[in-house]
Structure 1
Amino acid sequence: MALAASVLIVPATPVNASPPSISWDVPLDHIDDDDVGVTYREGGLVIASGGGESASVRWGRVSAYQITRRTTTALVNRVWAEVAADVAVSVEVRAEIGARRWSEWRATPAILPDTTVVEVRVNLDGPGSVARVRMGAGRGERAARVSGGGYRVFATREGLVGRTTANGHVITKRDHFVALPSRRGLAPKDAGDYTVRVCAASGRCEWAPVWDVGPWNVTDDYWNPPSVRQSWTDLPQGRPEAQAAYQEGYNGGKDGFGRRVLNPAGIDLADGTFWDGLWLTTNAWVDVTYLWMVDGARGTVRTADSTLTVRNGPRVRATAVGIAANHARPIIECQVAGDTVTGTYGSTNLWNRLAPGYFVSDAYVNAGPSPTC
């Protein structure tokens, strides 16, 4: 495919960064299950036939993209990109910052936590071809530590069974995932890199991965402080733009696409999360904790089904108080001995406390060492 024009994005080393300790070309011809709606054809990365649209198209088009990983030869914290393309392209990167933990995605040139593992996400926003993406990484000013916790936001039910989410997951009946209005916290398909704990007023909670983008906006990482928030930096941390628009007339009562905001939603819940995880019957205010922003040991839930029951004690007959979705990565506060359970990872009497009064059997959680409760 011939290039009609060549567009260079971030062609120079960013200010306050050392010369690259490493540079590399992204292997655009390597397409795998992490990639969504793209293919490699005639020397370029292009949107595949039928690709580039997701269930979130109702909140605005979500890019098709390719993800690749690079292990660097030394610690880096500055990453930039040079792109040759005849299509609108954005390049985002994230850093591995510990076992089962990643920083959020950031547009290049980016300041990341110190790392030796960088993932690159090349986003295509329309027809055309990407011929080359060359990355550079070096050392410079360190990223400021960003902290966050839990916020009360309005939740709506996503539905859309049979449609495809922004990370390529096909939505099933009574599915278990959530959508947030920024792809900075969008996990790859079948991964819980970005997991939330969402709790209803009843006390029931679900630990679920972020697999879609929405509602209303696509650049509203409201869980971040204003200093690093993508858009609407005059709003306080924890306040979704849609909530401010609906309740206070912010931005003329409209979302980022100029549409009249009809509810204050800051999170969308898949049907299973909505009905089975939280026992909701209508849209409601919920408490959400964005677990990738929280320090602590974490494990990965793996079950033969889509969920793992969360109980109020380390016993198989203890009261069910919620659900941990398959692939979710909950914080493990501590472990305690209880009933022996046989599951994905064999037989064990260890139970993981995810929060006070919320326990899951370690037989279904791939976790490292945790303190004793």
Structure 2
Amino acid sequence: MTRPHCRIRSATLTTALALVLTAAAVPTIGGSPTAPSATGASLTLTAAAPSGEQWSADLSTVNRDDVNVRRTPAGLRLREARAAGRTPRSPHSAVAEGMLLTAPRTLTRPATRVRAEISADVPAGATVEAQVRGWRVSGWTEWRAATAGAVFDRPVSQVQTRVVLTARAGGATATVRAVQLTADATAAVSAATPGRTYRVYATRIGLVGELTANGRTIQPRDHFAALPSRRGLSPLNTGDYTVRVCTTTGARCEYAPVWDVGPWNTRDDYWNPPAVRENWKNLPQGRPEAQAAYQSGYNGGRDQFGRTVLNPAGIDLADGTFIDGLRLTTNAWVDVAYLWTGGGPRGVVGDGPLNIRSGPSTSYAVRGLAARFANVPIQCWVTGQSVAGPYRTTTRWNRLATGQYVSHAYISAVYGGAVPVC
């Protein structure tokens, strides 16, 4: 259905998608949590048994490429455990950060996966993270967390590592003794991709008891989304068209099926290129017509029905997605991936909303939800905590394209290709 506007007034609102080694939740190789002592924890974290080409990151050389770290006899530490250069309103104002960048390593043979094993003492409030990037013909890939295994969609010939440390302002810092890297090849190099992603304005649907465009009666705290084009509308009780909606900080995400049409327009598939877009072909790809009308007076400031546009909304979110999935309290800008425009294996969430976590165990932090029927992009899978679910009891955890995890016990089906081991 189309609604002229939502019921909440506007307000403004990256992502820690990588696995972070913390003293609050420290996994062992088997995935079981190990509680730290009051003064900290001495641990080793690794994704799997080593195989392939191995080397150790050089933690002994600190130079101009590195930020707020120092080498001590005990290991790599933050130089100063205080925040600097941040505004009081910044979420980072209470966090000290440091980073060591190593020299690139040329591999003896191309690889598609790199795993990191970290040996460190991590006190409460501190974190350590190993990230890698790979060189290929087109240049460097993005940085990816390597603790659970970084998978590249094409073989890379060089690997560069960086070690990131954080601590509470004035608090104790971690001490990193060693970082061991392993590079090898996975069974497949075509990783799942989330597809086109744009930042748009989200509003809350509400309207409990009314019907959606695909015939669903809206329930309290329901989990779905609405887009202003029927081209992305899923049939009832399917997730053929699923969006991944994340807060702009990346702290929370939800995978939600598209079950309604709106806000404002019904023929505005703004995520498509102009040659494909049904209407408003002179707008930039990724710019909803309502946003252009509201911000710059496009189309006289009106929608396709001639109504004055009162907010720049490009997506509507059901109450459960809005409140429970993203934990929003008012309308906000969000980052939306239109998952059907991507590729690779997809898993169907058979029972939900399902928690998505930062690691392969229920001891890891919840980073959001995957609604029932949502189709989520699965990059690879790891062995973690055993979970008994509606479809199976399994230790398999699926790593999504964002680097987050869901238990395979709740996935009813996988399509789009074989899922490799991470």
User: TM-score, normalized by length of structure 1?
Assistant: 0.60
- Distance change >3 Å, CA 338–CA 295, structure 1 → 2: same
Which of 274, 279, 294 is residue 246 of structure 1 equivalent to? Answer: 294
1:283 aligns with 2:331: yes
- Cross-structure match for 1:153: 200
Gaps of 5+ in 1: 1-55, 61-146
- Cross-structure match for 2:276: 228
Distance 1:314 1:290 in 2: 25
- Cross-structure match for 1:108: none
Shift of 1:351: 0.5
CA contact (8 A) 1:334 1:370 kept: yes
Distance 1:192 1:214 in 2: 17
Structure with greater Cα Rg? 2
Give the secondary structure class of the aligned counterpart of 2:378.
Answer: coil
Give the secondary structure class of the aligned counterpart of 2:3.
Answer: helix
- Cross-structure match for 1:51: none
Q: Deviations over 1:12-31 (max 9, x none)?
A: xxxxxxxxxxxxxxxxxxxx
Larger RCO (CA under 8 A, 6+ residues apart): 2
Gaps of 5+ in 2: 6-193
Which of 347, 354, 359 is residue 308 of structure 1 equivalent to? Answer: 354
CA contact (8 A) 2:214 2:234 kept: yes
CA contact (8 A) 2:2 2:265 kept: no
- Cross-structure match for 1:34: none
Shift of 1:59: 5.0
Q: Which amino acid aligns with 1:325?
A: A
Give the secondary structure class of the aligned counterpart of 1:336.
Answer: strand
Distance 1:323 1:214 in 2: 22
1:367 aligns with 2:312: no
CA contact (8 A) 2:229 2:262 kept: yes
Q: Deviations over 1:193-213 (max 9, x none)?
A: 000000012420000000000
- Cross-structure match for 2:127: none
User: TM-score, normalized by length of structure 2?
Assistant: 0.53
1:355 aligns with 2:401: yes
Which of 227, 249, 255 is residue 207 of structure 1 equivalent to? Answer: 255
Instruction: After TM superposition, list the pairs within 5 Å mapping 1:93-104 onto structure 2.
Output: none
Distance 1:356 1:240 in 2: 24
CA contact (8 A) 1:314 1:360 kept: yes
Distance 2:310 2:195 in 1: 27
- Distance change >3 Å, CA 328–CA 148, structure 1 → 2: closer
Instruction: After TM superposition, list the pairs within 5 Å mapping 1:1-373 onto structure 2.
Output: 56-58=1-3, 149-202=196-249, 203-303=251-351, 306-365=352-411, 366-368=413-415, 369-373=418-422
Give the secondary structure class of the aligned counterpart of 2:215.
Answer: coil
Shift of 1:148: 5.3
- Distance change >3 Å, CA 148–CA 207, structure 1 → 2: closer
CA contact (8 A) 2:229 2:265 kept: yes
Shift of 1:344: 1.7
